[in-house]
Structure 1
Amino acid sequence: TNGTCQQQDTIIGYTIAGSALIIFGIACYQIWWQGRPAHSNATYIDLPSNEVELQESNHFISGLWSSQYYQYNTWHGPYQFSLLFDSETQNVTGNGSDDVGMYTIEGIYSTRTNRMGLIKTYKNGTGNPIQNLGHDVTIQVVWNSNQHQFEGKWYVRTNKYSGQDKFHLNLEKSYKAME
């Protein structure tokens, strides 16, 4: 009957509209979170680690470090830079340069969880003028005892670009070894 057809058309219309609204909501959510870490650095370093270090070993050593990051389907680096760890405040600072430009690093770490949260701030006007927006990169890494390196992700969110992907961090030489 005519009333049944109208009712079925209404149900189909609501189903299509509801599905479109759900898809739109998921797309908005992904766009909103792209380039943002799930946790602040302060929260991240306190998250429990999957692996427990059996030996009492400090992986937070001031010195010359190298990093690699994955972007645009390829690894970039390794790039060398300095990091200085303050065991009293659990803060870390550093500086260096890579294929984007010159940068400074500020962050925090936890010897309890073997995690680090860093903010890399590029100095505008250095390096690649297209890529370097004078922007911040959030880096969150945890110690991988099998690979003997810190591994995690980098996150960028600017008006022109947002993204995230893999990041590796290795100690090349401690300042004590350079003396």
Structure 2
Amino acid sequence: MKKVTVYCGSNKGKNPIYAQAAESLADEMIKRNLGLVYGAGNVGLMGVIADRMLAAGQNVYGIIPQKLVDIEVAHQGCTELTVVETMRDRKWLMAERGDGFVAMPGGIGTFEELFEIMTLNQLGYIQKPLALYNVQGYYDKLLDFLKHSTNEGFLHQAQLNLLIIASDPIEMLDKMQSFEPKYIEKWEVK
């Protein structure tokens, strides 16, 4: 794993712990010499992690649609800034360029990206580690819902098992770096 795609909020959230967690993740990525692939924003948690990585001289690859560049949220300090036409183009390029994925606390865009990568892994389009950075239990209720979906027969336990869940960036990146692809041929719920 050489580059990690990080999905996170374009806001910092109400609790300063989220920005601190973004900095902690950046620090651990820097120690491991991992590059950052992200949505190229200069705002929110996106800006926090990118600024920390850039300050340490790490490679930061930003991918952003022209519409967002036009409203001045593109981080001009990225090592490489790729401007695309649509959000769909952005998501695909971020999925393609990253060797693993982290979903930090975020909003609907982060949720969408998380579920898209879960789906791509499930169907075998990619086989890359995906982690929930569960800062302060941010994703606890979502995890409860996913367990409920499993119990109700809509999500196979093997699908849920593909998701790495951690609240500590060291543990999370360790698990990601030791990830072994587990494409499952048959997804019927029993």
TM-score (norm 2): 0.22
Larger helix percent: 2
Larger strand percent: 1
Larger Rg: 1
